[in-house]
Chains A and B, each alone.
Chain A
Amino acid sequence: MKYVFLLFCFFTFADESQTQVESELEGVNFGALEEILEKDKLSTHVKKKLKAVKKVQELREKEMEEKKYYPSSQDFLPFLTQMWLVKNAAILKWDFEKPEYGIAQHLSEVLRKVGLIKRQYKILIINTDLLPSFALPTEKGSGYLLLSLPFMKTLDLSKNEISLLLLQDILRMDGAYLEKTLKETGLFEKVGKKMTEDEPNVSFVSDLLAHYSKNVFEVGVNFQQQFEVTKQMDNLLKGHENLRKSYLSLLNKISEMDTQSDLFKNYNKLFPTAKMQLEWLQPSRSKSFP
């Protein structure tokens, strides 16, 4: 039943493409009726109606022509990210029933404490060990924060630790590492441009989705990027001793997991080791990237 209704939903777009006058006049052969119309002095009325319909059609064609654009950069990235999440729903396993963990409220408090305000994020809990966590870009100051339920459980993370894990992802997203990599593919060339072809060529979207997957599941973050993020974390947590302790505890837990468990073996493929981050956080190593 729901799909029937959905189809109805599609057809409402089609219905909007004709005015009532157009529908009335469709299929009427005015040529054959010419004599009768002349006799009844209705021909002027018909001419007026036909003129009005022509004008509406011209306006509509103009309007459709104006819409022959690929989405703007501002509209495209949020759409692409959502599309990637939708196409990877089965892999990421985000569509499952879960309790309210109270993470949103806690993360909001932590972000306010460290001065990251006027932001809006969407946390999406994933039921897989493919990724520990990852931030996906949308508009400025917002994005999707993926968080693995098995990762939270395996490491027995506290709300502070979870919030700091997500904060680290937010900083990576602020650094636009994923966004830049996607743009460097050259596949954003059409974004915001007028369509030159009769039929839009959207193959670049599939290619971008493939790059998106490669970056999230295989490439991750390099040493330089991780170093920058770790230093930013260090700066943000200055004056918040409790949060700093939790951050060190989080990195220690991840570091232990690296050596003791086979779970999340992807972690070190995606991110430089937590042990290295702990070293970078030592006061003597804080100046520049080694």
Chain B
Amino acid sequence: MMKFIILFFFLLSATAEEVRYFNRIFGHVHLSPHATSSSLTTISCGFPLRIKQEQKTKHKNWIRVIAGDESGYIFHEYLSDQKPDCFQAKYPHFYNALNLDLSDLYYWGRLLDQVITVEVQP
């Protein structure tokens, strides 16, 4: 009986999913867990991404996510538990009037991939 209970909870945790939100203006879901890998899809701020519990810690700093039909990787810092305060949602009239095209959105996401962050803490 105990074995079944353990198996039940194991299966439950293996199939459990959580939702996190993309927290930058634009970004990419990558084919592999590194910034230079191909983009599977471009996503915008606030986009919900599904994460399978058992895949959370497989790749250092990269999380396997499901975005619609695509399953790929995203850097952990770009995900939030709560829906973020997005520029697009904060200033919808201004943002829509800019009429950004698909190439802009693609490069905006690439910019996030190409920068090297320097932090200077005390």
Partners in one complex: yes
Give chain A's interface residues, CB within 8 Å of chain B. Answer: 1-3, 5-6, 8-10, 12-13, 64, 67-71, 75, 79, 82-83, 85-87, 89, 94-95, 97, 100, 103-104, 107-108, 111-112, 116-125, 144-145, 195, 199-202, 205
A2 near B118: Cβ-Cβ < 8 Å: no
State A103–B88 Cα separation when bound (angstroms): 33
- A89 touching B98 in the complex, CB below 8 Å, given contacts A9-B47, A117-B122: no
- 30 A–B contacts, CB within 8 A, in A order: A3-B102, A5-B43, A5-B69, A9-B42, A9-B44, A9-B47, A64-B92, A75-B90, A83-B104, A86-B104, A87-B104, A95-B110, A97-B36, A103-B116, A108-B118, A108-B119, A108-B120, A111-B118, A111-B120, A117-B120, A119-B119, A119-B120, A120-B118, A120-B120, A122-B117, A124-B115, A125-B114, A125-B116, A200-B94, A201-B97
Q: How many A-B residue contacts, CB cutoff 8 Å?
A: 127
Chain B stretch 101-119: residues in CB contact (< 8 A) with chain A: 102, 104-105, 107-108, 110-111, 114-119
Give chain B's interface residues, CB within 8 Å of chain A. Answer: 25, 36, 39-44, 47, 67-70, 87-88, 90-94, 97-98, 102, 104-105, 107-108, 110-111, 114-122
Instruction: Give every chain A residue within 8 A of B117 (Cβ-Cβ).
Output: 104, 120-123
- A71 touching B40 in the complex, CB below 8 Å, given contacts A6-B102, A6-B105: no
Instruction: Give every chain A residue within 8 A of B36 (Cβ-Cβ).
Output: 97
State A99–B119 Cα separation when bound (angstroms): 20
A95 near B114: Cβ-Cβ < 8 Å: yes
Q: How far is the CB of A199 from chain B (nearest CB, A)?
A: 7
Instruction: Give every chain A residue within 8 A of B114 (Cβ-Cβ).
Output: 94-95, 124-125
State A124–B107 Cα separation when bound (angstroms): 13
Partner of A2, one of B39, B87, B93, B110: B39
Q: How far is the CB of B16 from chain A (nearest CB, A)?
A: 24
Instruction: Give every chain A residue within 8 A of B108 (Cβ-Cβ).
Output: 82, 86
Nearest A-chain residue to B48, judged by Cβ: A12
Q: How far is the CB of A9 from chain B (nearest CB, A)?
A: 5
Partner of A67, one of B44, B93, B97, B119: B93
Instruction: Give every chain B residue within 8 A of A12 (Cβ-Cβ).
Output: 47
Partner of B43, one of A9, A67, A85, A199: A9
State A82–B98 Cα separation when bound (angstroms): 14
- A205 touching B110 in the complex, CB below 8 Å, given contacts A79-B87, A124-B115: no
Instruction: Give every chain B residue within 8 A of A117 (Cβ-Cβ).
Output: 120-122
Instruction: Give every chain B residue within 8 A of A75 (Cβ-Cβ).
Output: 87, 90-91
A89 near B110: Cβ-Cβ < 8 Å: yes
Nearest A-chain residue to B67, judged by Cβ: A5
Q: How far is the CB of A67 from chain B (nearest CB, A)?
A: 6
A70 near B94: Cβ-Cβ < 8 Å: yes
B116 near A104: Cβ-Cβ < 8 Å: yes
Partner of B93, one of A112, A122, A195: A195
Partner of B87, one of A69, A71, A112, A125: A71
A116 near B102: Cβ-Cβ < 8 Å: no
